Amino acid sequence: MGIDQNFSAGFRRLLDKASVPCRIRYFTTLQDDVYDDAGTLVVSGNDFWFSAIHNSLDKKEGSTDSNLVEQGKLRTTDTKLYMNGSIVLTGDVNQFKVQVGSPTGDQYSLIPAGGVDQDVNSVTIYKCAYVRRLTNGSLIGE
C-alpha cells in the first residue's frame, strides 16, 4: 500500500469517528433581461450528501486561519469543513449552500476562497473548505 493510500485510509477513519452528515446544494445564476435584477439563483442538479468534519478556525497567531482573518478574507465566526478530496467545489456552478446536520441543520455558504486541496503524491486526500453561516438560511438571490 502506498503512502497516499495510507493517508486516505487514515482520513476515512477520522471521518468515521468525528464526522457529521452534510448536504451540498449547487446553484447557477439565471439572468433576467427584462428587469433590473442581478439574477436569480436556481438549483442546479441534485443535492449531494457526504460526511465532513466541522471545525472552528485556528485562532493561534501566525496560523493560516488567523492570517486570513487579519487579511479580511475570513471572519472570526467562520468555520471549516474537512471533506473527502473527490467532492467538487469548482466548475460551472456559481454558488454552493452547505447544510451541516441531518435531517435539518444550519445552512452555510462557501467562502469564495473555495476548498483547499491537501495532496499526497498528486492524489487529493481531503479538502478544507471555509464556510460562513447563513443567518437567514438563504443565499442572496435564492
* Contacts of range 25-34, beta carbons closer than 8 Å, 24 or more positions apart: 25/96, 25/97, 25/98, 25/99, 26/93, 26/95, 26/96, 27/93, 27/94, 27/95, 27/96, 27/97, 27/139, 27/142, 28/92, 28/93, 28/94, 29/94, 29/95, 29/141
Cα–Cα dist 142/134, whole Å:
12
Q: What is the mean pLDDT of residues 109-131?
A: 82
Say yes or no: domain 3-133 is CATH 2.40.10.270: yes
pLDDT band at 36 (very low <50, low <70, confident <90, very high): low
Give the separation between CA 87 and CA 115, rounded to whole angstroms.
10
Does this model's pTM top 0.85?
no
Q: Give me the percent of the chain exceeding a pLDDT of 70.
A: 88
- Grid cell, residue 114, equals 473555495
What is the mean predicted confidence (pLDDT) over 94-111? 85
> Which pLDDT score is estimated for 49?
92
Average pLDDT of the segment spanning 10-26: 91
Alpha helices in 19-129 (DSSP H): 64-70
**Tell me, what's the pLDDT at 60?**
92
Encode pLDDT of 53-102 as tens digits: 999 999 899 888 899 899 998 999 999 999 988 887 776 556 788 899 98
d(CA 123, CA 52): 19
Q: Which residues pair with 43 in a beta bridge?
A: 27
Mean pLDDT of the chain: 84
Q: What pLDDT shows up at residue 37?
A: 60
Helices then strands, counting H and E runs in the chain, come out as: 2, 7
pLDDT tens for each residue of 37-51: 667 788 888 888 999
With bands split at pLDDT 50, 70 and 90, how would you rate the model's confidence at 104? confident
